[in-house]
Structure 1
């Protein structure tokens, strides 16, 4: 027996908020701000976006580890934030997130045609998310009404470990019976999500404008001038650079052309991470 690299993609593993739904990734960020506010801790939207892509408990822990936020907590409670405090904030976060996730559940323009293209190319559709299962079930149900039904869904708390590790992506590989991780492409708008795909041995595509790094809703994005878009592309490409995605695209609407390019490279024997 000998190893033979796959000749074409078999699956796309897609993120949710900022990738397929919720242009600008507002549902989680605004709720982090509200959850911290219930403890009289001020948190800006930009601060809330910082660790985006991680599981939500880990996201809150990361926020509490940031010196400026830890200082606010210590000023309010006369002690640094502990894991028990993180859990208390998370327990405030969860009902707020469940109650409000529907307000930011619209599919990103171009998502359905892009997914249809991938299915026509023979790809199965798996998904991962930083959302826990309680929230994920609401998001999945709303997406189904809008016409999006992936083949598999892995929530942040379905497994012992999550992003930036490979576990969620690999759970999709197993569930979808994919023969080789190199036949998968991971699509995400966050650094932990791209690292998830890279650590799983997959092709990776980072999305610049629909998610966390731009942080604008779709009308505000559409109002940007060409020069403003170019400036944001340069800035966001720099933010993605440390995790080395195979491709960068503006939104999921640009994904079909990238899928075709990856398939062409695979037909020549190329594998993920080869440049």
Structure 2
């Protein structure tokens, strides 16, 4: 019956690794640089594991890792403390603020998809682990390239509450006057993005190409054989399936197919 049809009212996108910055290279680069200043060399896999969280929480999660904690103690002569978390965060935030504008290139298919969503009357929001100060710099440049969500919510706008909690997504819903999370799709490129959507009661979509989980830059992707690409995509899909992602898409244009299916 008509009243039982699902109607998608809004899509909430993550920012880096989903709409712009193929592979989330900006935060990966700056996390590595920040910890290296303290003598701790991080692997890309370690950096990526908590990706999607508010950045101070991300730093804390990195320091909790057994190997990282051991190296920190060896290099610094003591176990890490909350003062260390704050110092690392300040270094990270300042560095990322300086370089984030260099990582605003849209991921393939995103601009076209956003334009189509607007034509369809679907509201567009975004949540991110970046701060509002960073996003103020980025939004203008992103808008010039065709990426202009109606609202962008950052952790500091919701009292510092980060993913996997759904507070930022709920703030998007409130800002755009959307009442039911069941009419919302959350699109992201990390497990934290998916948990944010699931904890809100929204439909979740994980992105393969350009994602943080896939963990490579566009230049690195271009060097892979077709077999290597498929192997990486299969592993990325498994990561999404681990957390119960509703849909997994290869690229952003496939989101339109998901919406068509949900609206049938």
TM range (shorter): over 0.9
Task: Tell whether the 8 Å contact from 2:206 to 2:248 is kept in structure 1 after alignment.
Answer: yes
Which residues of 2 match residues 53-132 of structure 1 at below 5 A?
53-132=52-131
Measure, in 2, the Cα distance between the counterparts of 1:184 and 1:76: 46
| Mean CA deviation greater in 124-133 or 113-122 | 113-122
Task: Tell whether the 8 Å contact from 1:19 to 1:188 is kept in structure 2 after alignment.
Answer: yes
CA 1:261–1:37 in 2, change beyond 3 Å: closer, same or farther? Answer: same
**1:126-172 deviation per Cα after TM superposition (whole angstroms, max 9, x unaligned):** 10001111212222122012121110010122113120011000100
Task: Tell whether the 8 Å contact from 2:6 to 2:262 is kept in structure 1 after alignment.
Answer: no
**Does 1:182 find its partner at 2:182?**
yes
| Mean CA deviation greater in 214-223 or 21-30 | 214-223
Tell me what 1:218 maps to: 218
Measure, in 2, the Cα distance between the counterparts of 1:143 and 1:155: 16
| Mean CA deviation greater in 103-112 or 136-145 | 136-145
Measure, in 2, the Cα distance between the counterparts of 1:145 and 1:62: 35
Measure, in 2, the Cα distance between the counterparts of 1:181 and 1:147: 26
- Cα distance, 1:23 vs structure 2: 0.6
Q: Please identify runs of 4+ aligned residues in structure 1 that moved more than 6 A.
A: none
SS at match of 2:214: coil
Measure, in 2, the Cα distance between the counterparts of 1:65 and 1:35: 16
Tell me what 2:152 maps to: 153
Task: Tell whether the 8 Å contact from 1:30 to 1:45 is kept in structure 2 after alignment.
Answer: no
Measure, in 1, the Cα distance between the counterparts of 2:208 and 2:4: 29
Which residues of 2 match residues 166-245 of structure 1 at below 5 A?
166-245=166-245
- Cα distance, 1:5 vs structure 2: 5.7
**1:158-200 deviation per Cα after TM superposition (whole angstroms, max 9, x unaligned):** 1131200110001001110012111100000000110000110
CA RMSD of aligned residues (A): 1.5
Which residues of 2 match residues 12-51 of structure 1 at below 5 A?
12-51=11-50
**Aligned residue pairs: how many?**
261
- Cα distance, 1:6 vs structure 2: 6.2
Measure, in 1, the Cα distance between the counterparts of 2:107 and 2:190: 16
List alignment gaps of at least 5 residues for structure 2. Answer: none
